[in-house]
C-alpha cells in the first residue's frame, strides 16, 4: 500500500546577507511553474518580494522546557504554519526565508518537535546560498555561516563569475569538507533549474547512497571545532533493536555536536527501507517503501557535526550488524 502524503512541503532558504537569497526567492516566485507559494519572510528582508501570500516572521527562538539542553524551536513558525492551514487552498508549498545571521537548528528542530507542525507539513529541504567571493571571510568571522552550510540539503555556490577558477576550487573544497552530503550547484545569479532546488523530498535522501565514502571525514581540520561530515555504511543488514539503542545513546551523549544526521537503513527480515533523520538530540525514523528487487540492500548513515570520530562511529555502526 502506498501512503499518500498530503503534508505541505516546506523549503527553508538560508544564507548570509548579500549571498543572493532574495534573488533566488524572486526567481521561485516569478517563474512560471504553476505552483503557488506561501512565503514566510524575516522582518529584515533585503528588498521587496512580490507574492500574494507573505507572512512576517519574527524569528522567536524558544527553548523547549523538556530537559533537552540543545532543543530550541521557532515558536513563530509553529503559529504561522498552523494559521496558514486555514487558507491551505491558496498555496501548494511553503518557503521560509531566514535572516543571514540565523542559526538553522531551531528551524529544523521545529519540524521534528511539534506534532501539529509534523502532521501538517514536512521539511523538504534546507537550501543555503553561499557567496563565492566572501565565503572565507564569513567562515572566519561567524559561526552561523558554517552551520548554514552544515545544515543544507542543497547548496548554491553563487556569484562564481566574480572569483578566479582557483578561488572557486577553494570554496568548493571548503563547502565539501563541512558538508559532504548536500547537492551542490555553482551559479552566477542563482541560475539553477528550480526543479533541482524545490520539492526534492525522498529523491535527495537517496543521494547519501551515492556519496563516495573516501570523500568524507578527511583529516584536513583547520581547527578542532570546525564542522565535518562522516559517513558509515554496511553491506550486511542491521539488527533493528541494536541500531535504535546505539543511535539513541549516541545522540543523547553527542547530540550537541551532531548538527544533522541522515540514513537509509536495511534491517534484517524487513522488506521496507527505513529512513532516519536527526537534528542534534532529536531523531525521526520511519519505514519509507519496500526495497526493490534489483536494489542493493546497503545501509548508509551520514553525520555532519563537530568533533566527529570516524573510527568510533564506524565501530558503533558495525556492532549493529545483525
Residues within the interface to other proteins (CB under 8 A): 55-56, 58, 60, 62-66, 73, 75-76, 78-80, 83, 85-87, 89, 114-116
Among the listed residues 143, 306, 152, 145, the one whose alpha carbon sits nearest the alpha carbon of residue 217: 306
Which residues lie below 8 Å from residue 105, measured CB to CB, with a gap of 6+? 70, 72, 147, 151, 259, 279, 280
For 47-76, the DSSP string reads S----SEEEEE---EEE-SSS-TT-EEEHH
C-beta of 289: minimal distance to other proteins in Å?
Answer: 27
C-beta of 21: minimal distance to other proteins in Å?
Answer: 20
Q: Considering beta carbons, is residue 108 or 275 the nearer one to other proteins?
A: 108
Q: Considering beta carbons, is residue 83 or 201 the nearer one to other proteins?
A: 83
C-beta of 259: minimal distance to other proteins in Å?
Answer: 23
Instruction: Give the Cβ contact number of residue 131 at 10 Å.
Output: 22
End-to-end CA distance of the chain: 27
Backbone dihedral angles phi then psi of residue 134, each to the nearest 5 degrees: -110, 10
Q: Considering beta carbons, is residue 54 or 322 the nearer one to other proteins?
A: 54
Q: How far apart are CA 68 and CA 124, in angstroms?
A: 25
Query: Do residues 264 and 289 touch, judged by C-beta distance below 8 A?
Result: no
C-beta of 58: minimal distance to other proteins in Å?
Answer: 7
The alpha carbon of residue 36 and the mean position of all alpha carbons in its chain are separated, in whole angstroms, by 23
Q: How far apart are CA 73 and CA 112, in angstroms?
A: 9
Q: How far apart are CA 70 and CA 67, in angstroms?
A: 9
Q: Considering beta carbons, is residue 237 or 255 the nearer one to other proteins?
A: 255
Q: How many residues does the chain have?
A: 322
Specify the pairing of strand 8-15 against strand 121-131.
Answer: parallel
C-beta of 36: minimal distance to other proteins in Å?
Answer: 15
C-beta of 53: minimal distance to other proteins in Å?
Answer: 8
CA torsion 115→116→119→122, rounded to 10°? -90
C-beta of 144: minimal distance to other proteins in Å?
Answer: 22
Q: Considering beta carbons, is residue 20 or 106 the nearer one to other proteins?
A: 106
C-beta of 57: minimal distance to other proteins in Å?
Answer: 10
Q: Considering beta carbons, is residue 57 or 178 the nearer one to other proteins?
A: 57
Q: Considering beta carbons, is residue 3 or 86 the nearer one to other proteins?
A: 86
Q: Considering beta carbons, is residue 19 or 107 the nearer one to other proteins?
A: 107
Alpha-carbon torsion (305, 307, 312, 314), positive or negative: positive
Amino acid at each position: 500500500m502506498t501512503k499518500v502524503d498530503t503534508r505541505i512541503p516546506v523549503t527553508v532558504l538560508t544564507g548570509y546577507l548579500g549571498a543572493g537569497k532574495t534573488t533566488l526567492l524572486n526567481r521561485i516566485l516569478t517563474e512560471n511553474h504553476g505552483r503557488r507559494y506561501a512565503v514566510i519572510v524575516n522582518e529584515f528582508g533585503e528588498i521587496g518580494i512580490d507574492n500574494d501570500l507573505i507572512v512576517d516572521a519574527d524569528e522567536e527562538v524558544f527553548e523547549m522546557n523538556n530537559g533537552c539542553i540543545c532543543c530550541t524551536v521557532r515558536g513563530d513558525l509553529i503559529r504561522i504554519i498552523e494559521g496558514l492551514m486555514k487558507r491551505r487552498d491558496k498555496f501548494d508549498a511553503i518557503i521560509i526565508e531566514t535572516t543571514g545571521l540565523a542559526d538553522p537548528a531551531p528551524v529544523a528542530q521545529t519540524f521534528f518537535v511539534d506534532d501539529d507542525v509534523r502532521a501538517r507539513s514536512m521539511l523538504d529541504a534546507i537550501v543555503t546560498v553561499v557567496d563565492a567571493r566572501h565565503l572565507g571571510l564569513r567562515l572566519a568571522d561567524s559561526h552561523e555561516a558554517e552551520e548554514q552550510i552544515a545544515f543544507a540539503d542543497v547548496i548554491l555556490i553563487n556569484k562564481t563569475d566574480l572569483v578566479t577558477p582557483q578561488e572557486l576550487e577553494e570554496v568548493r573544497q571548503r563547502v565539501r569538507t563541512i558538508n559532504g552530503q548536500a547537492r551542490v550547484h555553482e551559479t552566477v545569479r542563482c541560475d539553477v533549474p528550480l526543479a533541482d532546488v524545490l520539492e526534492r523530498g525522498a529523491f535527495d535522501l537517496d543521494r547519501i547512497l551515492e556519496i563516495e565514502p573516501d570523500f568524507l571525514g578527511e583529516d584536513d581540520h583547520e581547527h578542532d571545532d570546525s564542522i565535518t561530515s562522516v559517513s558509515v555504511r554496511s553491506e550486511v543488514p542491521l539488527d533493528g533493536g541494536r541500531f535504535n539503542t546505539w543511535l539513541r545513546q549516541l545522540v543523547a551523549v553527542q547530540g550537541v555536536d551532531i548538527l544533522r544526521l541522515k540514513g537509509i537503513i536495511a534491517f534484517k527480515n524487513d522488506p521496507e527501507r527505513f529512513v532516519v533523520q536527526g537534528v542534534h538530540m532529536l531523531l525521526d525514523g520511519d519505514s519509507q517503501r519496500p526495497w526493490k528487487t534489483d536494489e542493493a540492500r546497503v545501509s548508509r548513515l551520514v553525520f555532519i557535526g563537530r568533533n566527529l570520530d570516524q573510527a568510533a562511529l564506524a565501530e558503533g555502526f558495525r556492532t549493529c550488524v545483525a
